[in-house]
């Protein structure tokens, strides 16, 4: 294991359990136990999975320390931030998320713009960017870094390289950073390495997922992402943030805890 590669901090994201919907009946503590047992150094929870800890960050810190884990980031997502009628409600949730992130001095990662349709695309994207700017302004008062996380689910308004460029250009003046996700980038039709290189200066937090050539989620290392080169590049440029595994393949439906453990084993096989 090289010293540069070993410096990458490896965490686990909780969407692996969130995607199970009603099938998941566990608690945040169960997820912490699973991440710790699998050998991750930290976790990234979302507002949808944090439960009562959202208003009790000190208690969450105790739960982390008990298991030898760190808080890698906090994620906040609702219905895509494109509906002006939801703006106030979304901002109230963002305020709570900022307080949580500030407690741990970690980035707040905001879900990408999304909508049930692409009708009136420009207006919807502008509304999302307005929301991001407002959150960034409030984050600055707390010393919290805000990043945007485009996704590739069916409601996403940001998929292609051109759409990534447009979103990142529209949020740059507000100091909003970038939380790229390898799987979502691939499903949007572009190459993770090219995307990472192009937006290197904005990257503050990284999600790792794998897909096959048809865009179907796969366990890490069984798709086309090319993790060895990508992670080697991150280590080589001295990237200081977390790399967070987020498993969404069919393996999760069989056994989520086993799926994240196998991802961790794969990442160790690459040297970290």
Residue 89 tokens, joined? 């409600």
* 47-70 pLDDT per residue, tens: 999 999 999 999 999 999 999 999
**How many domains does the structure of the chain reveal?**
1
Domain range spanning residue 101? Answer: 3-269
* 96-120 pLDDT per residue, tens: 999 999 999 999 999 999 999 999 9
Number of CB atoms found within 10 A of residue 15's CB: 23
d(CA 39, CA 262): 10
* pLDDT of amino acid 6: 52
Query: pLDDT band at 7, cuts 50/70/90?
Result: confident
Q: Which of these, 146, 246, 237, 240, lies nearest to 197 by C-alpha position?
A: 237
Instruction: Tell me the CATH number at 191.
Output: 3.20.20.150
């Amino acid at each position: 294991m090289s010293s540069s590669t070993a410096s990458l901090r490896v965490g686990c994201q909780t969407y692996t359990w969130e995607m199970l919907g009603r099938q998941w009946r566990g608690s945040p503590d169960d997820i912490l136990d699973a991440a710790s047992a699998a050998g991750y150094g930290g976790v990234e929870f979302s507002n949808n999975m944090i439960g009562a800890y959202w208003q009790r960050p000190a208690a969450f810190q105790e739960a982390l320390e008990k298991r030898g884990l760190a808080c890698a980031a906090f994620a906040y997502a609702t219905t895509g931030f494109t509906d002006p009628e939801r703006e106030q409600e979304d901002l109230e949730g963002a305020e709570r998320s900022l307080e949580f992130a500030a407690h741990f001095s970690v980035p707040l990662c905001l879900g990408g713009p999304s909508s049930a349709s692409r009708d009136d695309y420009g207006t919807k994207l502008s509304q999302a960017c307005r929301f991001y700017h407002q959150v960034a302004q409030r984050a600055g008062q707390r010393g919290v870094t805000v990043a945007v996380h485009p996704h590739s689910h069916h409601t996403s308004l940001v998929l292609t390289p051109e759409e990534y460029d447009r979103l990142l250009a529209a949020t740059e003046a507000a100091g909003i950073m970038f939380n790229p996700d390898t799987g979502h980038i691939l499903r949007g039709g572009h190459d993770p390495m090219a995307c990472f290189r192009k937006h290197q200066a904005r990257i503050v937090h990284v999600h790792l997922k794998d897909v096959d050539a048809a865009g179907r989620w796969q366990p890490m290392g069984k798709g086309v992402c090319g993790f060895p080169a990508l992670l080697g590049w991150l280590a080589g440029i001295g990237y200081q943030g977390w790399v967070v595994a987020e498993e969404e393949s069919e393996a999760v439906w069989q056994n989520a805890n086993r799926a994240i453990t196998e991802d961790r084993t794969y990442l160790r096989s690459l040297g970290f």
